Structure 1
């Protein structure tokens, strides 16, 4: 009986340990099932005045997808018929990256980056359109540039309006995420505007990029992609988030660790066939917040595809994908 009692106590002790172990095995949601044209990279999604949803992305001359219901997507060509000539200052192919679409002042605004892999000789440009549809964009040139002498990289733009002012977060590696104020009339960086520092990692190569900021309640939330993109099934991309009461920071995670010190709550990472989740943006549709991102499909040779998940907000104000 004594040995049975000891065994029972040991079993109870082991069971008591299980919850903390289980908590480490977080279950991440699969993306919304979609049909049609699924291939995409660094998606930015918006519901147009026409009622259609448009998704612009890295690839071609800013690839475009259209949908009526978020579930079935069709290839809609490209934002531009051909690259503006100034793009070739930053790469030989005139290849733009990581667009961001928004609407204000009666027009749609499309921000994007042009650069080459592994350099911060980069630029962010802007175009406008009355309809937001591919083929209707007028390019307005450079918004902000960076050079090899800078400690930041002018790619991955994302726009937010806060307290009557217009801001652009941006950045990749090169000490991480930055922010600059824009002229609301031109959509370009204000002359001599300070460059704010929002997030980085403690060690080189400071693998954080692709910022996107939204406001919920009294907080601004900074979503960012951590670790390595663009390696197919070997990608380690994941999405982290922090928040601040000021759009310019400081941003901290739910434990109070600053994102300038590598903090950030893990919102979504690869699981199962869905590898390297990142390149994210947030949009509003059907009265709810949605997370858009790309993943690499392990069941389709690592092809990058569109991921969509709804976002819920906890009682304490933190987002969760489901």
Structure 2
């Protein structure tokens, strides 16, 4: 009798291959486009674009347009974070937004494989290096018996100036959770984190459940109906060329949606993304593009208000090493009710 899990895996690979035929290459990127991980992108009121990313105590680059040319400017926190998790800790996965004259950047403090992580926040009036104030931890509680999470990969979401500020986070150890912050956006509200997305699938190449991480919330109106889209990265990130995950298990960008900011989030087939391993594939490996992830979404006013999906990825012709990772972006179309990657 055929192995059902193997059969399902083969069907999944066929579906990915068919979608890969339709995905365009990343849009051009000029200037400093290499050594990029977990980018967060925002445009300042003067038209300058900022890209804030992992490495070098949070790297800041600027450009006159999303295409570039990108220029590295310096570190957001040159002296590191106020947070003290462990010796030789690293600062990862920033998430930046702007409100009422201030830029806010949330960041993770951790080490690979470490669960005793934390999330901090820094603010700036200009977003330029040398102008950031580190406020330290936002105060999320550590894991409990009922909430076994990892405090990394922060994502801030607010729908309107008077709306509640929602906060998504999490990775391995039960994946993605949601809570809220206080109105100052600097500290946890005290609302218990609630699990929102989880994948229990056990890839054949590992003895732990598939990783779901890097959540990013975005809302959009479709024919007068509002949907909340929970983007996330799924699979194995950042493997060297001689230790790649099995095909289909590498990093990829997924999405679930809900009619409420709190969920329940489901995929295109109606599968629950918390209890049924749901998730619709948005972008995966194709051509010379391998393992896109660490994504975010931004409206590009310089290109007729199109919506851009940005991410990091490996270009197979350049290399798979950590320093080889590229900054990429594509435009997406929500006309079908789901984000579809399209050529510009």
Instruction: Please give the range of the TM-score, normalised by the shorter of the 2 chains.
Output: 0.7 to 0.9
Which residue in the other structure is 2:200 paired with? Answer: 202
1:109 aligns to what SS in structure 2?
strand
The alpha-carbon deviation at position 30 of structure 1 amounts to 1.0
> How much does 1:205 deviate?
2.6
Q: Deviations over 1:2-61 (max 9, x none)?
A: xxxxxxxxxxxxxxxxxxx89961222211111211121000000012211010111011
- 1:292-317 Cα shifts (integer Å, max 9, x gaps): 100012111221010111111123x1
Counterpart residue number, 1:126: 121
Q: Are residue 314 (structure 1) and residue 312 (structure 2) matched?
A: no
Residue of structure 1 in register with 2:291 after alignment: 276
Q: Who is 2:18 aligned against?
A: 25
Q: Aligned equivalents of 2:260 and 2:142: distance in 1?
A: 25
Task: Say if 2:200 and 2:209, in contact at 8 Å, map to a contact too.
Answer: no
Give the deviation of 1:230 after TM superposition: 1.6
Q: CA deviation at 1:148?
A: 8.4
Of Structure 1 and Structure 2, the greater strand share is in: 1
Structure 2 Cα separation of the partners of residues 37 and 96 of structure 1: 20
Aligned counterpart, 1:165 = 164
Do the aligned partners of 1:124 and 1:145 also contact (CA within 8 Å) in 2? Answer: no
User: CA–CA distance in 2 between the matches of 1:190 and 1:23?
Assistant: 40
Which residue pairs with 2:62 in the alignment? 66
- 1:198–1:66 CA distance, 2 compared to 1 (3 A): same
Write the distance in 2 (CA, Å) between the matches of 1:224 and 1:121. 22
Distance 2:82 2:98 in 1: 26
Looking at structure 2, the residues matched to 199 and 84 of structure 1 have their Cα atoms a distance apart, in angstroms, of: 29
Aligned ranges 1:209-288 → 2 under 5 Å: 209-217=213-221, 218-233=226-241, 234=244, 236-260=250-274, 261-286=276-301, 287-288=305-306
TM-score when normalising by structure 1: 0.88
> Partners in 2 of 1:91 and 1:305 — Cα distance?
29
> What's the counterpart of residue 312 of structure 2?
294
Q: Do the aligned partners of 2:135 and 2:186 also contact (CA within 8 Å) in 1?
A: no
Alpha carbons of 1:145 and 1:23: their partners in 2 closer, same or farther (altered >3 Å)?
closer
| Closer, same or farther: CA 146–253 of 1 in aligned 2, 3 Å | same
Task: Supply the distance in 1 between the matched residues of 2:130 and 2:300 (Cα, whole angstroms).
Answer: 24
Go from structure 1 to structure 2 and tell me whether the alpha carbon gap of 1:31 and 1:187 turns closer, same or farther (over 3 Å shift): same
Match of 1:135 in 2: 130
Corresponding residue SS for 1:35 = coil
Structure 1 residues 32 and 232 mapped into 2: Cα distance closer, same or farther (>3 Å)?
A: farther
Check conservation: 1:83, 1:94, Cα contact below 8 A. Answer: no
Unaligned runs of at least 5 residues, structure 1: 1-20
Larger radius of gyration: 1
TM-score of the superposed pair, with normalisation by structure 2? 0.82
Aligned residues: 298
Structure 2 CA distance for aligned equivalents of residues 123 and 171 of structure 1: 10
Deviation at 1:145, TM superposition (A): 4.8
Deviation at 1:147, TM superposition (A): 4.7
**Aligned with residue 36 of structure 1, among 1, 7, 31:** 31
Gaps of 5+ in 2: 1-13, 202-207
SS in structure 2 of the partner of residue 25 of structure 1: helix
